[in-house]
Structure 1
Amino acid sequence: MNFKKAIVFSLLVAAGTTTFAQTSNLRKAKSSLQKFEELKSAGSAALGKSNLTAAKEAIDLAVAHEKTKDDPEAWTIYALVNANIASMDNVPEAATAAAEGVEKAKALDTEKKNAENIAVVGQVLGQYNFNQGVASWEKQDFKSAYAQFDKALTFLPGDTTLTYYGGLAAIQNQDYKNAVEKYKLLIPKKDFSAHKSVMVDLPKLYLSMKDTASALDYAAQAAQAYPNDNDAAVQNIELNLIAGKESKVIADIENQIAKDGNNKSLYYYLGIAHSAANNNDKAIAAYKKAVEIDPNYNDANKNAAATIINSVRDQLNALNENKTLSNNDYNKKVTELKEKIKEALPYLEKSVALNPKDVDALKSLKGYYDFQQDEAKSNELKAKIDALN
């Protein structure tokens, strides 16, 4: 939060030279407040506490006095005094009184002569509520923290730090609706230091609200705003895959690979996208590349094997449905498929080696040996599967 330098001294002095019918209480309140502000400005606010107390006693009388009860300056001083008391001594009642004083001053100050001092009150109250929010956050009372940050924004509208902290508190409280609203306010603020985090996290918040359409929309916005950021790009890819828009996202993945060619996850995503689009050969090539980058990438090993096996299975089903083939031609083509499926074996074996208790991986490997008619290997794997079950 960036606060303006308080200009209360000069305004108080200037106002004191132009007011005609002031009571002694208003003059005393202004004088005492000025002394407090001078000490506060010098870093010695505690030394000026007696001046602040004197200012409060005088201004309470002034706003009740017949001559000054409708004086906008009196209510402005009233707000300033109470705001400082709230800030110094953490007095919620004083903060409430200050806010009421501001509203009264604004209503009476039709010529806006006290506008600058009223703005100073807003700064003090904004800081007060921000501090309250931080205190609640430290106690992990995120609901109260959000309420305090949100209240601070009423005094400091548009403050990016307060808006961001409000969003964070809402997230911690699983109040995703308010978190989204706060984050959306920050989208135009590209110079804000946490802008990229806001853009990348906003789609996740929509997913938490089960709003996939909005998540996709804001993921695309994040990728567009930060085209060279891997997190934004990968999130956009992942969400499109979740939404079943594989064909659309293939070009996005390939563009990102061009920038980050050693990212195993991108090749894995490319494999998923191509597989969903029935581009099996391209899917297998992508999974193989992911494994080449990281031989222990289990998901890529499993998907490479599964895609190869599924491709062979589809061809076998087609053979079985082709009634025009002679027995010799059929057997020849099955032998060719047995040779082709061997491509899956190293990926199946690696997957089992990485996770020997993965029943699905063991079943896939058993299925491979069943197809190869290797009874000994098949029985060995069956025994392992039965032991795990």
Structure 2
Amino acid sequence: MKKLVLSIAMVAAASLAFGQKKVVKEAEKGFKSGDLQTALTAIEGATTNPETSGDPATFLLKAQIQTKIFGTDTENTMETVEVGNQAISTFNKAFEMAGSNKTSTVGKAVYAEELPGVPDNLRPYSLLTLKNLAFDKALEKYNAEDLEMSYEFFNLAGEIDKTDSTIHYNAGFLANDLGRFEDAKRHFNYLFEIPGYNKTNAYYFMVQILSTEEKNPEAAFALVSKAREEYPNDKVLAEYEIQLLLQLNKMDEAMAQIKDALANDPNNSGLLLRSGYLKEQAGDLNGAMADYKKSVEVDPNFFEGNYYTGALMLEQSREILAELNALSDDEWEKKSQEMGKQADDLYRQAVPFFNKALEIKPDNTDIMIILFQVHTRLKNNAEAEAMNKKISAILGPNWQDN
């Protein structure tokens, strides 16, 4: 009797195991034929049954089915992304169950390479297939100008491969453009870890995020200093370093850096402007004027150079007038004509620079107002009235009351 009971139990167990293996075979059949929902239902049953849930191949098949579902989904919404994330998780579980060994049968299947242009029926539907599918969806969404979903698919692909510079640069670029600065920093940090990769653009973005968006010039300066060690001849990084030194009020260091940079690039209008600014702050107005003027000589369409040159001329003129007004009556009588002429000459010299600045930025009302005041001072009535009409058309006829 005991033997009979044992035999019946063994038959029942064998039938159950056969039944579960049959479910796996059903899932495989659905996977190959494209009946993916039936395949997914079958394999989910197999992953929860004790007879088949301990086999990493069961989870490998589930991940492959999920990957195929991901690839065939043409909606490409956040639900699609979630399917991709589930596939990654299942692939990782299968790999761990196989001892995290890439040389095992399951490990090889998880990380199986794809040949470019291989037909769908020959694709391995591995983790790398999932990465390529996500990349293709990211490009499709980018071309459709859906930047949010393009980022999501690039991000998904990047979760699979932390060393793919193209994926992480695109993801970081889009995240930055979308204002997702923490995400952008994460992707750029991946790029910093890739040996041999040219990281200059990633450094540019990161410095801007730290200094502008996070208002953390100290962190930005620390990063740009590290970047300069890697790329000592990069002119953009050199300019960022100078700009941050100015923000941090490290004037002597900034001036030393500017001198070094100008020695290698004497016609750099941005460096000349910063050199002029530092000299102006130090009281060397003649040196500042020379640098400002040179910045527009090398680049006539340099807005800041034109503006700063004109502004310094007006400041010098105001100082002359302030000095004149501080004189005693007798001294004023003696010097007013000469000093007044000096002030007016500076006003006249400033006009072409502000005119050029306005030509570069024709809607800039601040410059229009400066030119109105200058022409009024010089009694250029026609020019002052013309400028008044321009300003009134933008700010309204009562703009002077505001």
| TM-score normalised to structure 1 length | 0.68
Mapping 1:241-320, distance limit 5 Å: 241=246, 244-295=249-300, 297=302, 299-311=304-316, 313-314=318-319, 317=322
Residue 56 of structure 2 corresponds to residue 72 of structure 1: yes
Q: Quote the offset at 1:24 in angstroms.
A: 11
Asked if structure 2 preserves the Cα contact closer than 8 Å seen for 1:52 and 1:85, the reply is no
Q: Which residue of 67, 85, 89 maps to 1:83?
A: 67
Q: Quote the offset at 1:280 in angstroms.
A: 1.4
2:56 maps to a residue whose letter is P
Asked if structure 2 preserves the Cα contact closer than 8 Å seen for 1:366 and 1:382, the reply is yes
Q: Which residue of 176, 185, 190 maps to 1:185?
A: 190
Change (3 A) 1:252 1:380: same
Measured in 2, the distance between the counterparts of 1:236 and 1:101 equals 46
Measured in 2, the distance between the counterparts of 1:313 and 1:111 equals 76
Q: Quote the offset at 1:358 in angstroms.
A: 2.0
Change (3 A) 1:232 1:72: same
Measured in 2, the distance between the counterparts of 1:192 and 1:265 equals 28
Deviates more, 1:108-117 or 1:123-132: 108-117
Change (3 A) 1:246 1:366: farther
Change (3 A) 1:351 1:319: closer
Q: Secondary structure at the match of 2:233?
A: coil
Change (3 A) 1:249 1:335: farther
Mapping 1:182-261, distance limit 5 Å: 182-189=187-194, 191-193=196-198, 195-206=199-210, 207-241=212-246, 244-261=249-266
Measured in 2, the distance between the counterparts of 1:60 and 1:236 equals 56
Report the equivalent of 2:159.
Answer: 154
1:204 maps to a residue whose letter is Q
Report the equivalent of 1:37.
Answer: none
Report the equivalent of 2:132.
Answer: 127
Change (3 A) 1:68 1:172: same
Q: Which residue of 87, 108, 122 maps to 1:116?
A: 108
Cα deviation digits, residues 252-287 of structure 1 (max 9, x gap): 222222222222332222222222232212111111
Q: Secondary structure at the match of 1:157?
A: coil
2:98 maps to a residue whose letter is D
Q: Secondary structure at the match of 2:162?
A: coil
Measured in 2, the distance between the counterparts of 1:142 and 1:72 equals 37
2:200 maps to a residue whose letter is K
Measured in 1, the distance between the counterparts of 2:165 and 2:60 equals 27
Residue 369 of structure 2 corresponds to residue 359 of structure 1: yes
Q: Which has the higher contact order (CA 8 A, sep 6+)?
A: 1
Q: Quote the offset at 1:199 in angstroms.
A: 1.0
Asked if structure 2 preserves the Cα contact closer than 8 Å seen for 1:183 and 1:198, the reply is yes
2:330 maps to a residue whose letter is N
Measured in 1, the distance between the counterparts of 2:48 and 2:207 equals 54
Q: Quote the offset at 1:360 in angstroms.
A: 0.2
How many residue pairs align between the two structures?
344
2:97 maps to a residue whose letter is L
Asked if structure 1 preserves the Cα contact closer than 8 Å seen for 2:310 and 2:354, the reply is no
Asked if structure 1 preserves the Cα contact closer than 8 Å seen for 2:84 and 2:130, the reply is yes
Mapping 1:13-28, distance limit 5 Å: none
2:353 maps to a residue whose letter is S
Q: Quote the offset at 1:241 in angstroms.
A: 4.1
Percent identical pairs in the alignment equals 21
Measured in 2, the distance between the counterparts of 1:158 and 1:80 equals 23
Q: Quote the offset at 1:123 in angstroms.
A: 1.6
Report the equivalent of 1:327.
Answer: 330
Measured in 2, the distance between the counterparts of 1:352 and 1:255 equals 30
Report the equivalent of 1:176.
Answer: 181
Change (3 A) 1:337 1:301: farther
Measured in 1, the distance between the counterparts of 2:302 and 2:88 equals 59
| TM-score normalised to structure 2 length | 0.66
Q: Secondary structure at the match of 2:196?
A: coil
Mind listing any 5+ residue stretches in structure 2 that lack a counterpart?
1-16, 113-125, 360-366, 393-402
